[in-house]
Amino acid sequence: MDLKVKMPSVVISLEVEEGATVTKGQTVAVVEAMKMKNNTPAPLDGTVKSIAVKAGDRLKPGAVLMTIE
């Protein structure tokens, strides 16, 4: 499952690495949107297969942060 941002955002930090096991609700990234920092939770239990961004990247709505399977 691709984890996407819902609004224009800047990636503040990534809290996991590729290959990490995550649980539903665990914070996997922190993004800033409209001058507010938002924790981005994992939508499901799984493994991080790929990360498409790095800290500092500016993202448009619908941009993929990472893939979790």
Domain ranges of the chain: 2-68
Predicted confidence at residue 5, as pLDDT, reads 96
Predicted confidence at residue 18, as pLDDT, reads 97
Predicted confidence at residue 33, as pLDDT, reads 94
The Cα–Cα gap between 17 and 14 comes to: 8
Q: Which residues contact 36 (CB under 8 A, 6 or more apart)?
A: none
The Cα–Cα gap between 36 and 9 comes to: 10
Q: Which regions of the chain are under pLDDT 50?
A: none
Predicted confidence at residue 14, as pLDDT, reads 98
The Cα–Cα gap between 6 and 44 comes to: 17
Predicted confidence at residue 8, as pLDDT, reads 97
The Cα–Cα gap between 27 and 18 comes to: 14
Predicted confidence at residue 26, as pLDDT, reads 98
Predicted confidence at residue 9, as pLDDT, reads 96
Q: Quick one: fold of 2-68?
A: OB fold (Dihydrolipoamide Acetyltransferase, E2P) (2.40.50)
| DSSP state at residue 52 | -
